[in-house]
Amino acid sequence: MEARQRNVVIAIVVLAVVVFIGWRLSRTDAGTKGDGKSGSASTNANAKSSTSNANANANINATNAGPMLSSSVGAGPTQTPTDASTYAKVKWGTGPDELGHFAPKEANPEAPMSLAVDANGNVVVLDQVNGRLVRLGKDGKPIESILTPVKAAQDVATAKDGSLLVLDRLADKAVSVIGPDGKVQGSLPIVGDGVKEGGAVTGVFVEGKNVYVEREHAGLVLVGDTSGKPATDRKELPGRPTRDGLSFLNAWLLPPPGGDSIFLTSTQRAPEEHRWTRQYHLPMSVTNLLLLDSDLAGVVYVAAMGFVASEGKPDGDPRIELLCIESVSGVPLGEVTLPSTTLPDETFRDFVVLDEGGAIYAYRTDAGVTLMKVDCRKGG
């Protein structure tokens, strides 16, 4: 009888331990699963696109994020191609003054996948449909065309030394380094420590002479340098580095239906510690992130796509909100509302932030693409 009672007591204790462990795990899951799919910002301005963008959802471990602050953001002033400062307006085509657009019947249509700004303030457009990189001068007119040295280019970044970095994550599975003279300096393999497969890469980034690829919109993995030399120690960065060299950034959305919010965290770089985490309520139902970057002053730029309820339209009207954020506190500095393309093009990066502040947005239509100069800083 005593043995029986002892067995009952042991069973109750074991059951209590199991229940406690399960409760602890559920608490941990609740703190981490709310972030949604991992990533660092997204550049596709169309909810119908099926692309793994360089400007997409960024993920952090919410249990280590510190206190969550909240900000409500109203709709900013609307900018359109007619009243915004237009950098360039380019028609679709194959000519020297045109950019490629491909719309197959049974596959995703393609427009220029990405764009970047070089050290001289010229815009470099990845025109992969025509197999080239097109450099536009400050007057918006083409000044140079360089053949892409990879089979399936999807993203481009520029370095301060004049190098161009072209990402092919699916065919060559490498970053091709093009020197300031337009010649290929080398090829940096992307698969290796930190990256198991090329399809997991969601963008190419440069900091100084270091070349990184982003893994699943989260950490950045060092793959080499701008001389074309592959990295032997593929170190990782915990987020996107700000251009002032002081912070790392991560952004994320909640899983669908995610509501009206985007989330952003800033981590101080040295020493590496949490600075702030904020939730931003936008005046729309948010579907994906299009941009996460900063200018040289450290101002953070975040763009999100979403829909606003509209009579007679079940999905609502698409729109884009571009938000500027103060780097030290995370307080919003201003916002602007932009038109969203209705083309289901597959793209990687539709925004690029300028060093001096402001951004360029590639607004696509049936006729071509308009590169709009936009600024969400109040008085910017």
pLDDT in tens, 191-238: 999 999 999 999 999 999 999 999 998 899 999 999 999 999 999 999
Q: What would the pLDDT profile of 224-236 be if each residue is shown by its tens digit?
A: 999 999 999 999 9
Task: Return the SS3 of 353.
Answer: strand
Sign of CA dihedral 230, 188, 204, 368: positive
Q: What's the mean pLDDT in 136-161?
A: 96
Q: Are 215 and 237 in contact (CB under 8 A)?
A: no
Helix H or strand E encompassing 214: strand 210-215
Residues written for the chain:
380
Q: Is the pLDDT of residue 126 over 80?
A: yes
Neighbour-count burial of 213, counting CB atoms closer than 10 A to its CB (0-12 exposed, 13-18 middle, 19+ buried): buried
CATH number of 36-374: 2.120.10.30
> According to the model, what pLDDT value does residue 235 have?
97
Structure tokens at 341: 């393309």
Q: Is the pLDDT of residue 273 over 50?
A: yes
pLDDT class of 22 with cuts at 50, 70, 90: very low
Q: With contact defined as beta carbons under 8 Å apart, do 124 and 116 qualify? A: yes
List beta partners, residue 286.
306
Alpha helices by DSSP H, listed for the chain, are 2-32
Name the phi and psi angles at 29, rounded to 5: -60, -40
Instruction: State pTM to two decimals.
Output: 0.82
Contact between 243 and 298 under an 8 Å Cβ cutoff? The reply is yes
Candidates 150, 124, 121; CA nearest to 135 is 124
